[in-house]
Amino acid sequence: MEVLRRAIELSSDGADIVHMAVGEPDFPTPEPITIAGRDALMNGSTKYTDARGLAELRLAVANYYATDYGLDVDENRIFITPGASGALLLTTALLMEPGDEIILSDPGYPCNRNFLAAFSGTAHMVPVGDSENYQLNGLLVDKNWRETTRGVLLASPANPTGAVIGESVLEEISFLVDKENGCLISDEIYHGLIYSDAKKVSALQVSPDAFVLNSFSKYFGMTGWRLGWLIAPASVAPYLEKMAQNFFICPSSISQHAALAAFTPVARDIMEAQREEFKTRRDFLLPALRDIGFDVPIEPEGAFYIYAGLPEGFLDSESFTQWLLEEHHVAIAPGTDFGSHLANRHVRFSYAQPLDRLQLGVERLQRAIQTG
Protein backbone atom coordinates (compact mmCIF):
# COMPACT_ATOMS: atom_id res chain seq x y z
CA MET A 1 0.00 0.00 0.00
CA GLU A 2 2.91 2.34 0.78
CA VAL A 3 4.46 1.61 -2.62
CA LEU A 4 1.09 2.30 -4.22
CA ARG A 5 0.63 5.56 -2.31
CA ARG A 6 4.11 6.79 -3.26
CA ALA A 7 3.60 5.68 -6.89
CA ILE A 8 0.37 7.71 -7.05
CA GLU A 9 2.16 10.71 -5.48
CA LEU A 10 4.94 10.50 -8.08
CA SER A 11 2.36 10.09 -10.89
CA SER A 12 0.47 13.17 -9.76
CA ASP A 13 3.80 15.08 -9.81
CA GLY A 14 4.03 14.15 -13.51
CA ALA A 15 6.20 10.98 -13.38
CA ASP A 16 5.32 8.16 -15.78
CA ILE A 17 5.20 5.23 -13.36
CA VAL A 18 4.92 1.63 -14.60
CA HIS A 19 2.50 0.12 -12.10
CA MET A 20 3.43 -3.50 -11.43
CA ALA A 21 2.37 -3.48 -7.79
CA VAL A 22 -1.36 -3.56 -8.45
CA GLY A 23 -3.59 -6.39 -7.26
CA GLU A 24 -6.54 -5.90 -9.59
CA PRO A 25 -7.25 -6.46 -13.28
CA ASP A 26 -6.62 -3.40 -15.46
CA PHE A 27 -9.57 -4.37 -17.70
CA PRO A 28 -12.85 -2.56 -17.17
CA THR A 29 -15.70 -4.59 -15.67
CA PRO A 30 -17.24 -6.60 -18.56
CA GLU A 31 -19.93 -4.47 -20.19
CA PRO A 32 -22.91 -6.83 -19.60
CA ILE A 33 -22.24 -6.51 -15.86
CA THR A 34 -21.94 -2.72 -15.97
CA ILE A 35 -25.18 -2.47 -17.96
CA ALA A 36 -26.98 -4.69 -15.44
CA GLY A 37 -25.62 -2.47 -12.63
CA ARG A 38 -26.80 0.68 -14.41
CA ASP A 39 -30.24 -0.87 -14.94
CA ALA A 40 -30.42 -1.81 -11.24
CA LEU A 41 -29.74 1.84 -10.35
CA MET A 42 -32.31 3.15 -12.80
CA ASN A 43 -35.08 0.73 -11.87
CA GLY A 44 -34.72 1.30 -8.15
CA SER A 45 -33.10 -2.00 -7.12
CA THR A 46 -31.33 -0.02 -4.45
CA LYS A 47 -32.80 -1.38 -1.23
CA TYR A 48 -31.51 -3.82 1.39
CA THR A 49 -31.60 -7.45 0.33
CA ASP A 50 -31.60 -10.70 2.29
CA ALA A 51 -28.43 -10.77 4.45
CA ARG A 52 -27.33 -13.92 2.61
CA GLY A 53 -27.71 -12.16 -0.75
CA LEU A 54 -30.34 -12.24 -3.49
CA ALA A 55 -31.89 -15.69 -3.94
CA GLU A 56 -31.34 -15.43 -7.76
CA LEU A 57 -27.66 -14.70 -7.27
CA ARG A 58 -27.16 -17.55 -4.82
CA LEU A 59 -28.84 -19.80 -7.36
CA ALA A 60 -26.56 -18.43 -10.12
CA VAL A 61 -23.51 -19.23 -7.95
CA ALA A 62 -24.88 -22.75 -7.33
CA ASN A 63 -25.30 -23.19 -11.12
CA TYR A 64 -21.71 -22.01 -11.62
CA TYR A 65 -20.52 -24.87 -9.36
CA ALA A 66 -22.65 -27.29 -11.37
CA THR A 67 -21.31 -26.18 -14.77
CA ASP A 68 -17.69 -25.41 -13.86
CA TYR A 69 -17.00 -28.06 -11.20
CA GLY A 70 -19.73 -30.65 -11.68
CA LEU A 71 -20.83 -30.03 -8.07
CA ASP A 72 -24.28 -29.90 -6.61
CA VAL A 73 -24.20 -27.11 -3.99
CA ASP A 74 -27.35 -26.27 -2.04
CA GLU A 75 -27.88 -22.51 -2.38
CA ASN A 76 -28.78 -22.35 1.32
CA ARG A 77 -25.07 -22.89 2.01
CA ILE A 78 -24.07 -19.93 -0.17
CA PHE A 79 -23.58 -16.46 1.32
CA ILE A 80 -23.01 -13.45 -0.91
CA THR A 81 -20.55 -11.18 0.92
CA PRO A 82 -18.82 -7.80 0.51
CA GLY A 83 -15.88 -9.24 -1.42
CA ALA A 84 -13.91 -12.32 -0.39
CA SER A 85 -12.82 -10.02 2.45
CA GLY A 86 -16.36 -10.21 3.85
CA ALA A 87 -16.26 -14.01 3.50
CA LEU A 88 -12.91 -14.14 5.36
CA LEU A 89 -14.34 -11.95 8.10
CA LEU A 90 -17.40 -14.18 8.58
CA THR A 91 -15.31 -17.36 8.54
CA THR A 92 -12.76 -16.17 11.07
CA ALA A 93 -15.46 -14.65 13.30
CA LEU A 94 -17.27 -18.00 13.27
CA LEU A 95 -14.28 -20.27 13.83
CA MET A 96 -11.86 -18.43 16.09
CA GLU A 97 -11.76 -18.79 19.87
CA PRO A 98 -8.96 -17.06 21.81
CA GLY A 99 -5.71 -18.95 21.34
CA ASP A 100 -6.84 -20.91 18.26
CA GLU A 101 -4.34 -21.23 15.47
CA ILE A 102 -4.79 -21.56 11.73
CA ILE A 103 -2.01 -22.92 9.55
CA LEU A 104 -1.14 -20.59 6.66
CA SER A 105 1.59 -20.60 4.05
CA ASP A 106 4.44 -18.10 4.27
CA PRO A 107 4.45 -16.29 1.85
CA GLY A 108 0.71 -15.67 1.59
CA TYR A 109 -2.04 -13.05 1.44
CA PRO A 110 -1.17 -10.62 4.26
CA CYS A 111 -4.70 -9.75 5.45
CA ASN A 112 -5.37 -13.33 6.60
CA ARG A 113 -3.14 -12.90 9.65
CA ASN A 114 -4.99 -9.74 10.58
CA PHE A 115 -8.44 -11.29 10.19
CA LEU A 116 -7.35 -14.06 12.58
CA ALA A 117 -5.83 -11.60 15.06
CA ALA A 118 -9.02 -9.49 15.01
CA PHE A 119 -10.89 -12.49 16.47
CA SER A 120 -8.14 -13.46 18.97
CA GLY A 121 -6.80 -16.20 16.73
CA THR A 122 -3.23 -16.66 15.59
CA ALA A 123 -1.66 -17.37 12.23
CA HIS A 124 0.76 -20.27 12.33
CA MET A 125 2.89 -19.33 9.35
CA VAL A 126 4.57 -22.32 7.69
CA PRO A 127 7.46 -21.48 5.36
CA VAL A 128 7.05 -22.79 1.81
CA GLY A 129 9.51 -22.49 -1.05
CA ASP A 130 10.08 -23.82 -4.53
CA SER A 131 10.59 -27.38 -3.29
CA GLU A 132 6.99 -27.31 -1.99
CA ASN A 133 5.68 -25.49 -5.09
CA TYR A 134 5.12 -22.53 -2.70
CA GLN A 135 2.10 -24.32 -1.22
CA LEU A 136 1.28 -26.31 1.90
CA ASN A 137 1.05 -30.09 1.59
CA GLY A 138 -0.02 -33.03 3.74
CA LEU A 139 3.42 -33.49 5.29
CA LEU A 140 3.71 -29.84 6.30
CA VAL A 141 0.20 -29.77 7.74
CA ASP A 142 0.87 -32.97 9.69
CA LYS A 143 4.21 -31.70 11.02
CA ASN A 144 2.77 -28.36 12.06
CA TRP A 145 -0.53 -29.46 13.59
CA ARG A 146 -0.57 -28.64 17.32
CA GLU A 147 -3.01 -28.89 20.22
CA THR A 148 -4.22 -25.37 19.52
CA THR A 149 -4.58 -25.78 15.73
CA ARG A 150 -8.14 -25.24 14.51
CA GLY A 151 -7.61 -25.60 10.79
CA VAL A 152 -5.76 -24.77 7.58
CA LEU A 153 -6.29 -21.85 5.22
CA LEU A 154 -5.17 -22.45 1.63
CA ALA A 155 -5.22 -20.20 -1.39
CA SER A 156 -4.91 -21.57 -4.92
CA PRO A 157 -3.85 -19.96 -7.19
CA ALA A 158 -1.93 -18.09 -4.53
CA ASN A 159 -1.08 -14.48 -3.94
CA PRO A 160 1.87 -13.62 -4.22
CA THR A 161 3.24 -16.73 -5.99
CA GLY A 162 0.58 -17.75 -8.53
CA ALA A 163 1.14 -21.35 -7.35
CA VAL A 164 -1.70 -23.84 -7.84
CA ILE A 165 -2.41 -26.78 -5.49
CA GLY A 166 -2.91 -30.06 -7.34
CA GLU A 167 -5.89 -32.29 -6.61
CA SER A 168 -3.83 -34.99 -4.87
CA VAL A 169 -2.19 -32.48 -2.50
CA LEU A 170 -5.59 -31.00 -1.75
CA GLU A 171 -6.83 -34.51 -0.93
CA GLU A 172 -3.84 -35.14 1.35
CA ILE A 173 -4.47 -31.91 3.27
CA SER A 174 -8.21 -32.51 3.49
CA PHE A 175 -7.61 -36.04 4.82
CA LEU A 176 -5.32 -34.73 7.59
CA VAL A 177 -7.65 -31.89 8.53
CA ASP A 178 -10.55 -34.38 8.79
CA LYS A 179 -8.43 -36.74 10.88
CA GLU A 180 -7.78 -33.91 13.34
CA ASN A 181 -11.42 -32.77 13.29
CA GLY A 182 -10.26 -29.40 12.00
CA CYS A 183 -11.58 -26.96 9.41
CA LEU A 184 -10.38 -26.55 5.86
CA ILE A 185 -10.71 -23.01 4.52
CA SER A 186 -10.02 -22.55 0.83
CA ASP A 187 -9.55 -19.14 -0.77
CA GLU A 188 -10.43 -19.67 -4.46
CA ILE A 189 -10.52 -16.00 -5.44
CA TYR A 190 -8.07 -16.53 -8.34
CA HIS A 191 -9.93 -19.55 -9.73
CA GLY A 192 -10.60 -18.92 -13.41
CA LEU A 193 -7.17 -17.31 -13.81
CA ILE A 194 -5.09 -20.41 -14.52
CA TYR A 195 -2.84 -20.52 -17.59
CA SER A 196 -1.41 -24.03 -17.54
CA ASP A 197 -3.11 -27.39 -17.97
CA ALA A 198 -3.73 -27.44 -14.21
CA LYS A 199 -7.40 -28.07 -13.53
CA LYS A 200 -9.23 -25.68 -11.24
CA VAL A 201 -10.16 -27.96 -8.37
CA SER A 202 -12.39 -26.60 -5.63
CA ALA A 203 -11.79 -27.80 -2.08
CA LEU A 204 -15.51 -28.69 -2.13
CA GLN A 205 -14.69 -31.46 -4.60
CA VAL A 206 -12.50 -33.24 -2.06
CA SER A 207 -14.01 -31.97 1.19
CA PRO A 208 -17.78 -31.28 1.17
CA ASP A 209 -17.52 -29.53 4.58
CA ALA A 210 -14.78 -27.10 3.55
CA PHE A 211 -15.29 -23.35 3.89
CA VAL A 212 -14.82 -22.08 0.35
CA LEU A 213 -14.56 -18.41 -0.42
CA ASN A 214 -14.49 -16.74 -3.78
CA SER A 215 -15.03 -13.31 -5.23
CA PHE A 216 -16.35 -11.32 -8.15
CA SER A 217 -13.18 -9.19 -7.88
CA LYS A 218 -10.54 -10.92 -9.98
CA TYR A 219 -11.76 -13.29 -12.75
CA PHE A 220 -15.09 -11.43 -12.97
CA GLY A 221 -13.34 -8.02 -13.01
CA MET A 222 -15.46 -6.37 -10.29
CA THR A 223 -12.95 -5.27 -7.61
CA GLY A 224 -14.65 -1.97 -6.76
CA TRP A 225 -18.15 -3.47 -6.69
CA ARG A 226 -17.19 -5.29 -3.46
CA LEU A 227 -18.83 -8.64 -3.93
CA GLY A 228 -17.79 -12.20 -3.16
CA TRP A 229 -19.22 -15.36 -1.67
CA LEU A 230 -18.75 -17.99 0.98
CA ILE A 231 -19.87 -21.62 0.87
CA ALA A 232 -20.07 -23.14 4.34
CA PRO A 233 -21.33 -26.36 5.91
CA ALA A 234 -25.14 -26.35 6.31
CA SER A 235 -24.81 -26.83 10.09
CA VAL A 236 -23.26 -23.35 10.58
CA ALA A 237 -25.44 -21.47 8.06
CA PRO A 238 -27.81 -20.02 10.74
CA TYR A 239 -24.86 -18.56 12.71
CA LEU A 240 -23.30 -17.09 9.59
CA GLU A 241 -26.62 -15.56 8.62
CA LYS A 242 -26.92 -13.85 12.03
CA MET A 243 -23.39 -12.52 11.78
CA ALA A 244 -23.94 -11.29 8.21
CA GLN A 245 -27.11 -9.47 9.35
CA ASN A 246 -25.21 -7.79 12.18
CA PHE A 247 -21.96 -7.02 10.39
CA PHE A 248 -23.20 -5.93 6.96
CA ILE A 249 -27.05 -6.02 6.89
CA CYS A 250 -26.52 -7.16 3.31
CA PRO A 251 -24.05 -6.88 0.43
CA SER A 252 -24.61 -4.01 -2.05
CA SER A 253 -27.91 -4.62 -3.84
CA ILE A 254 -26.74 -2.78 -6.98
CA SER A 255 -23.61 -4.92 -7.20
CA GLN A 256 -25.65 -8.08 -6.70
CA HIS A 257 -27.98 -7.21 -9.56
CA ALA A 258 -24.95 -6.43 -11.72
CA ALA A 259 -23.31 -9.74 -10.78
CA LEU A 260 -26.33 -11.67 -12.08
CA ALA A 261 -24.98 -10.81 -15.55
CA ALA A 262 -21.50 -12.15 -14.66
CA PHE A 263 -22.52 -15.74 -15.36
CA THR A 264 -24.09 -15.09 -18.79
CA PRO A 265 -22.27 -16.64 -21.79
CA VAL A 266 -21.53 -13.22 -23.27
CA ALA A 267 -19.84 -12.04 -20.03
CA ARG A 268 -17.97 -15.34 -19.65
CA ASP A 269 -16.63 -14.96 -23.22
CA ILE A 270 -15.18 -11.56 -22.27
CA MET A 271 -13.59 -13.03 -19.13
CA GLU A 272 -12.09 -15.92 -21.06
CA ALA A 273 -10.58 -13.46 -23.58
CA GLN A 274 -9.10 -11.53 -20.65
CA ARG A 275 -7.67 -14.73 -19.21
CA GLU A 276 -5.95 -15.36 -22.56
CA GLU A 277 -4.52 -11.84 -22.43
CA PHE A 278 -3.18 -12.44 -18.89
CA LYS A 279 -1.51 -15.60 -20.18
CA THR A 280 0.15 -13.67 -23.03
CA ARG A 281 1.46 -11.17 -20.50
CA ARG A 282 2.77 -13.85 -18.15
CA ASP A 283 4.46 -15.57 -21.09
CA PHE A 284 6.18 -12.29 -21.94
CA LEU A 285 7.13 -11.21 -18.41
CA LEU A 286 8.38 -14.50 -16.97
CA PRO A 287 11.28 -15.12 -19.43
CA ALA A 288 12.07 -11.40 -19.49
CA LEU A 289 12.52 -11.31 -15.71
CA ARG A 290 14.59 -14.49 -15.77
CA ASP A 291 16.84 -12.96 -18.47
CA ILE A 292 17.41 -9.91 -16.29
CA GLY A 293 18.54 -12.15 -13.42
CA PHE A 294 15.44 -12.54 -11.26
CA ASP A 295 15.10 -16.02 -9.84
CA VAL A 296 11.74 -17.67 -10.61
CA PRO A 297 12.38 -21.41 -10.22
CA ILE A 298 8.81 -22.55 -10.97
CA GLU A 299 6.45 -21.24 -13.63
CA PRO A 300 3.57 -19.48 -11.83
CA GLU A 301 0.40 -21.18 -13.10
CA GLY A 302 -2.25 -18.68 -12.11
CA ALA A 303 -3.41 -15.32 -10.64
CA PHE A 304 -1.50 -12.39 -12.19
CA TYR A 305 1.65 -12.36 -10.10
CA ILE A 306 5.26 -13.43 -10.38
CA TYR A 307 7.14 -13.88 -7.10
CA ALA A 308 10.81 -13.50 -7.87
CA GLY A 309 14.12 -13.77 -6.03
CA LEU A 310 16.22 -10.61 -6.34
CA PRO A 311 19.09 -10.68 -8.86
CA GLU A 312 22.55 -11.34 -7.47
CA GLY A 313 24.01 -8.40 -5.57
CA PHE A 314 20.66 -7.08 -4.36
CA LEU A 315 19.94 -8.05 -0.79
CA ASP A 316 17.02 -6.14 0.58
CA SER A 317 13.60 -6.18 -1.06
CA GLU A 318 12.26 -3.09 0.70
CA SER A 319 15.17 -0.85 -0.26
CA PHE A 320 15.14 -2.46 -3.74
CA THR A 321 11.47 -1.62 -4.34
CA GLN A 322 11.95 1.91 -2.98
CA TRP A 323 14.97 2.50 -5.19
CA LEU A 324 13.23 1.05 -8.24
CA LEU A 325 10.26 3.33 -7.74
CA GLU A 326 12.17 6.54 -6.93
CA GLU A 327 15.00 6.15 -9.46
CA HIS A 328 13.47 4.07 -12.25
CA HIS A 329 9.74 4.68 -11.86
CA VAL A 330 8.69 1.05 -11.68
CA ALA A 331 6.34 0.08 -8.84
CA ILE A 332 6.52 -3.48 -7.48
CA ALA A 333 5.74 -4.99 -4.05
CA PRO A 334 8.44 -6.11 -1.58
CA GLY A 335 8.32 -9.75 -0.42
CA THR A 336 8.07 -8.52 3.18
CA ASP A 337 4.42 -7.64 2.49
CA PHE A 338 3.62 -11.36 2.27
CA GLY A 339 5.42 -12.97 5.20
CA SER A 340 8.89 -13.41 6.62
CA HIS A 341 10.29 -16.58 5.03
CA LEU A 342 13.10 -15.30 2.74
CA ALA A 343 10.78 -12.34 2.23
CA ASN A 344 13.54 -9.79 2.11
CA ARG A 345 15.09 -11.62 -0.85
CA HIS A 346 11.88 -11.56 -2.92
CA VAL A 347 9.61 -9.13 -4.73
CA ARG A 348 6.18 -9.51 -6.37
CA PHE A 349 5.47 -8.37 -9.91
CA SER A 350 1.87 -7.96 -11.06
CA TYR A 351 1.11 -8.32 -14.77
CA ALA A 352 -2.34 -6.75 -14.49
CA GLN A 353 -1.12 -4.06 -16.87
CA PRO A 354 -1.19 -3.77 -20.69
CA LEU A 355 1.64 -5.50 -22.55
CA ASP A 356 3.24 -2.24 -23.75
CA ARG A 357 3.49 -1.02 -20.14
CA LEU A 358 5.07 -4.32 -19.08
CA GLN A 359 7.56 -3.97 -21.97
CA LEU A 360 8.46 -0.48 -20.76
CA GLY A 361 8.79 -1.84 -17.21
CA VAL A 362 11.16 -4.55 -18.40
CA GLU A 363 13.34 -2.00 -20.28
CA ARG A 364 13.60 0.09 -17.13
CA LEU A 365 14.38 -2.96 -15.00
CA GLN A 366 17.14 -4.02 -17.41
CA ARG A 367 18.70 -0.58 -17.16
CA ALA A 368 18.29 -0.49 -13.37
CA ILE A 369 19.95 -3.86 -12.80
CA GLN A 370 22.80 -3.12 -15.25
CA THR A 371 23.63 0.19 -13.61
CA GLY A 372 22.77 -1.20 -10.14
Ligand X SMILES: Cc1ncc(COP(=O)(O)O)c(C=O)c1O
Question: For binding to ligand X (CB under 6 A), which residues are involved?
Answer: 23, 83-85, 109, 155, 159, 187, 189, 215, 217, 223, 228
Shortest spacing between CB 223 and ligand X, in angstroms: 6
In sequence order, the 6+-apart residues with CB closer than 8 A to the CB of 44 are: none
Shortest spacing between CB 273 and ligand X, in angstroms: 22
> Beta 346-350 vs 305-309: how paired, if at all?
antiparallel
Complex with ligand X: residue 205 or 350, whichever CB lies closer: 350
Shortest spacing between CB 75 and ligand X, in angstroms: 20
Complex with ligand X: residue 187 or 337, whichever CB lies closer: 187
Shortest spacing between CB 233 and ligand X, in angstroms: 21
What is the amino acid identity at position 48? Y
Complex with ligand X: residue 189 or 368, whichever CB lies closer: 189
Complex with ligand X: residue 154 or 296, whichever CB lies closer: 154
Indicate the residue whose CB is closest to ligand X: 83
Complex with ligand X: residue 145 or 220, whichever CB lies closer: 220
Comparing C-alpha atoms, which of 60, 91, 54 is closest to residue 209? 91
Shortest spacing between CB 112 and ligand X, in angstroms: 8
